[in-house]
Structure 1
Amino acid sequence: MTYQPDTAKTKELIRQLVSIPSPSGFTDDVISFVEDYLKPSNAEMRRNRKGGLIVTLPGENPDKHRMLTAHVDTLGAMVKEVKSNGRLRLDLIGGYHFNSIEGEYCTIHTASGETFTGTILMHQTSVHVYRNAGTADRNQVNMEVRIDAKAKNADDVRALGIEVGDFVSLDPRVELCDNGFIKSRHLDDKASVAILLQLIGEIQAEKITLPYTTHFLISNNEEIGYGGNSNIPPETVEYLAVDMGAMGDGQSTDEFTVSICVKDASGPYHLGLRNALVQLSKEHSIPYQLDIYPYYGSDASAAIKAGHDIVHGLIGPGIDSSHAFERTHEDSLKCTLQLLYHYVQSNMVEI
C-alpha cells in the first residue's frame, strides 16, 4: 500500500521555513527552528562545525548506513559597499542574476542584530529621469538597495549600524494557493527540508524500524557548493540528496511528480540507485520523471567531489523558475515524500 502523506502539513512547514531568513552563512535561526521542530520526536541530533544539523535514526543494520540531505540555506546577498547616496551595493550569495531580484523587498541584518527593510532597485529606475531605465544592465554597478530609513549619505547609513558584510535576505512572498500551488522564493530547497522533517517525524511516530542506520543532514552551505562534502560517516553506502527538480525547455520535470535526476553538471548519478528509485516508484504507483539538469550541482555531487566512496543519487519536487520566482504543487511534494518513505525502508543497491 502506498503511503499517503498529509500535504497540508508539508505546505505549512514550507510556509514557516521560507519565512525565516537564511542566506548561506546566516543560517543559525533556521537550524534552531529545525531542532525545535524535531525535539518531540526524540531523534538523535547534533550540529556540525559548519552549522548544519545531523539527525540519526538507528536501523537494524548498523554496519551499513544511508544518508539523506536537504539544504536550508538560500540565495541572498551581503552589503558590498555603503554608497555616498545613502544606498547599498550588493554582492550576491549563490548562483543567480540581478534581474531576478529587481524590485524585490529585502531585509538588512546588522552585526548588532538590528534589521532594516529595503527594496532592491536599479539606480536608474525613474523613467522620468533616466533615458536608459529599461536598457541599462542589471548588474552590481547599477543595482542598489534603497533603505527604509532616513539615509541621505554614507554617514547616515553607518549611523544606523549598517556596514559592509551585513547579510541581506530576500522577501519570500510565500503564498499557499487554494488549488494546491505553492509560490515562494526559497522553495529551493526548503520544500525538500519540509519533506525530510515530516518524514523523520512520521518514522518516529509510527515506530518504523529502518533496515539501515539512516542519517539526515540538514545542510547549510549547498548554495555555495560545499554543504554536503563532509560529516559523512565511514559506514555510509548510499547518499541521497533531496533537492529541487529544474523545469524549462527540454526538461521532463514538472510540478506534479517527483523528479529523479540521472545527470547534472557534475556527471551521471549512480545507475543502480537511479534504477532502484524508479522501481520503487513503479511498485507504489508514484508518478515520476527522469531528467537531466545541465547547470546544476547538489550536495550529493559535492560529496563525490570531496572523495567519498558512496553510491549517490538526487530526487526532489519539481520547481518552476528556479532561483527566481519559484512555484511547485502539492502533488509534487506528495510524490517526493512517498518515494522517500518507501526508499528508507527498502534494501540497499547491490554493489
Structure 2
Amino acid sequence: MIKDFSKYTDYIIEQAQALLAIDSPSGYGKEVTEYLLAELQKIGVPARRTVKGGVLAEFGGRDREDAVLLEAHCDTLGAMVHEIKTNGRLKAVNIGGMMAANAEAENCRILTRTGKIYEGTCQLADASVHVNGDYGKTERTWDTVEIVIDEPVSSKEETGALGIMPGDYICFEPRTRVTKSGYIKSRFLDDKLSSAILLGFARYLKEECLEPERMIYAHFTIYEEVGHGGSGPCPAGVTEAWSVDMGCVGQGLQCTEREVSICAKDSGGPYNYEVVSRMVRAAQQNNIGFAVDIYPHYGSDVEATLRAGADVRHGLIGPGVYASHGYERSHRDGVENTLKLLAACLTENEA
C-alpha cells in the first residue's frame, strides 16, 4: 500500500463537490448516474446502468468466485409537491428522512415534468416574525411549512399554469463548502462523499496498477434513503458486501469527522463478525485513524442486499459525518482514512 494518498484525497473532494452540485433525491437519479458513468469511463472502469437506475462497476480483481461488492448511494433526501395550496404555495411531503425543521429557510428548486425548473424557499407558513406572534412556538412539520415559489403567484390556478403539479421533485440547496482547515460542510454528504470515495478508490487501483486478489464490484444506488437501494443486482460470485456510507458522529459514539467509522451494529442488527474484525485489524496494522461504533438509528444499503436474499457476509464503513440528515460536516482526514482502509483490506496482497 502506498504511503501518500493525498492526491487521491484531493480528487475525492473534487468529485464530492461535483456530485453534490447535481440534484438527485431518491428516485431522481438520471443526471447523477450519467455523471458517474462518464467519470468511471475516464478512469478506465467498465460500468453500466442497472434496470433500476443505479450504476454497477467492475473495479477489477482475479478471483470472481470470492468477490466483494462495495455499495454507496448517490441519492439524497428531498421532497415532493404534495398539494398546491389555495394561496399558490406548495405543501410538500418529504423523501426519506428529510426533516421539516432542517428544511426551513432553505432555498430549493422545483423540477416540473415539462422540464421547467423554478426556484423557491421552504418557509414556515406565515413566516414573518413581526406578524406571527406564534412563530417561535410552532412545531416545524411538513404540515406547518410550505414552499414559497419565486414567481408572482398567489392562487392555485396561477401556480398550476406554471406547469407545477403534485409529484414534482423539490430539491434543496446543498450549500457545499470546503474550509482551509480541511472540513467539508454540505447537505447530502450522506452519501455523496462516500460515492466520491469509491471513485477515488477506483482511480487508486488504476493509477497504481493494482489487480486485487478478489474481484471488486461497486454499486452506486439511487434508492437508499427510502430503504431499497441495495436490493438491486448482486453479481454472481460475491461473498461479501460492504456499504461505504457515512459514519455517525454524536453523543455516546467514539468517531469524529477525522476518522473512518467501522460499524459493529445498527438498527438492523450486528454486522458480520469476521468482516468487522478484519477491518479493525487492517486499521490497527496500518496506523489508520478509526473508531468502532454502534449506530442506534441507522440502516444501510447492504442490509437491503441481505433482505433481497443475497447469501453474503456484510460490513459498513465510512468517514465520520456530524449532523446527519441536516447540514452535515466531515473532514478530509476521515475521507483519507476511509480510502486507506479500503486499500488495506482489499489490496493487502499487493502491499
Same fold by TM-score greater than 0.5: yes
Q: CA RMSD in A?
A: 1.2
Cα distance in structure 1, aligned partners of 2:164 and 2:250: 39
> 2-side partners of 1:145 and 1:171: how far apart?
13
Give the SS at the match of 1:204.
helix
CA distance in 1, matches of 2:219, 2:347: 18
Who is 1:61 aligned against?
63
Map of 1:254-273 to 2, 5 A cutoff?
Answer: 254-273=256-275
Of stretches 51-60 and 70-79 in structure 1, the one that deviates more from structure 2 is: 51-60
For structure 1, the residue ranges without an aligned partner over 5 or more in a row are none
Q: Equivalent residue of 2:230, what SS?
A: coil
Give the gaps of 5 or more residues in structure 2.
none
Residue among 284, 298, 301 paired with 1:299: 301
Residues 259-268 or 333-342, more deviating: 333-342
Normalised by the length of structure 1, the TM-score is: 0.96
Deviations 1:294-345 (A, max 9, x none): 0000011111222211000000000010000100111100100111122222
Give me the whole-angstrom Cα distance separating, in 1, the residues matched to 2:266 and 2:144: 33
Q: Work out which of the residue numbers 135, 152, 155 in structure 1 matches 2:154.
A: 152
Cα distance in 2, alignment partners of residues 251 and 100 from structure 1: 23
Moved over 3 A (4+): none
Other structure's SS at 1:323 match: coil
Partner of 1:323: 325
> For this pair of structures, how many residues does the alignment match?
347
Shift of 1:58: 3.3
CA contact (8 A) 1:242 1:315 kept: yes
Q: Distance in 2 between matches of 1:17 and 1:58?
A: 24
Tell me the distance in 2 between the aligned counterparts of 1:43 and 1:332: 25
Q: Following TM superposition, by how much is the alpha carbon of 1:197 offset from its aligned partner in structure 2, in angstroms? A: 0.5
Other-structure match for 2:121: 119
Show the 5 A alignment for 1:270-285. 270-285=272-287
Per-residue CA distance 1:1-33 (angstroms, 9 max, x = gap): 554322222211111110100000111100001
- Report the alpha carbon displacement of residue 202 of structure 1 after superposing the two structures with TM: 2.0
Query: Per-residue deviation at 1:42?
Result: 2.6
Which position in structure 2 is the counterpart of 1:92? 94
Give the Cα separation in 1 of the matches to 2:232 and 2:30. Answer: 19
Amino acid at match of 1:307: G
- The question of whether the paired residues in 2 share the 8 Å contact of 1:79 and 1:168 is answered with yes
Q: Could you tell me how far 1:59 is from its partner in structure 2?
A: 1.8
| Residue identity (%) | 38
Preserved contact between residue 80 and residue 88 of structure 1 (Cα < 8 Å): yes
- TM-score of the pair, normalised by structure 2: 0.96
> What SS does the corresponding residue of 1:228 show, helix, strand or coil?
helix
Whether the 8 Å CA contact 2:175–2:187 is kept in 1: the answer is yes
